[in-house]
């Protein structure tokens, strides 16, 4: 398969596939004239990477997961550790986003949104870190 074929079949842009090749995640064969030739194994690896990236795994996590996937002597505990660490990061991010939402909800409700110049949103943003907003 050429890069257009594999891009179509994997759902990844050709640019992403070239990037994955540049960083060593995939290693397609090259024809005598230098064109990339992808195998079914490359297709499988690229769809694996696409799914892992869709779940938010970093490139380095993907590198680790691909190595584990290809290692028949792997221990599932190692795979679980990688996934658990990523899940923990997602949980932290969700908590941060919920805190941001709560703060912004409070500020939006506190703002009259009228023709007056005073605005609790701008006051809060201008107060800096550690500032307690006035009720």
Q: What is each CA distance from 15 to 6, 18, 97, 121, in whole angstroms?
A: 12, 5, 31, 42
47-51, 67-71, 126-130: least confident range: 126-130
Q: Which residues contact 97 (CB under 8 A, 6 or more apart)?
A: none
| Predicted pLDDT of residue 61 | 97
Structure-model confidence comparison of residues 47 and 128, the more confident one: 47
**Taking residues 66-92, what's their average pLDDT?**
97
Per-residue pLDDT of 12-30, as tens digits, reads 999 999 999 999 999 999 9
The H-or-E segment that residue 132 falls in is none
**pTM of the predicted model as reported, rounded to 2 decimal places:** 0.80
């Amino acid at each position: 398969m050429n890069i257009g074929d594999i891009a179509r079949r994997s759902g990844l842009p050709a640019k992403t596939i070239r990037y994955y090749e540049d960083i060593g995640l995939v290693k397609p064969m090259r024809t005598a004239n230098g064109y990339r030739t992808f195998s079914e194994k490359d297709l499988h690896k690229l769809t694996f990477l696409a799914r892992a990236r869709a779940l938010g795994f970093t490139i380095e996590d993907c590198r680790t997961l691909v190595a584990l996937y290809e290692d028949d002597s792997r221990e599932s505990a190692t795979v679980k550790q990688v996934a658990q660490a990523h899940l923990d990061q997602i949980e932290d991010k969700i908590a941060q986003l919920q805190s941001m939402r709560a703060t912004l909800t409070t500020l939006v409700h506190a703002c009259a949104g009228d023709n007056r110049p005073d605005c609790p949103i701008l006051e809060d943003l201008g107060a800096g870190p550690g500032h307690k907003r006035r009720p």
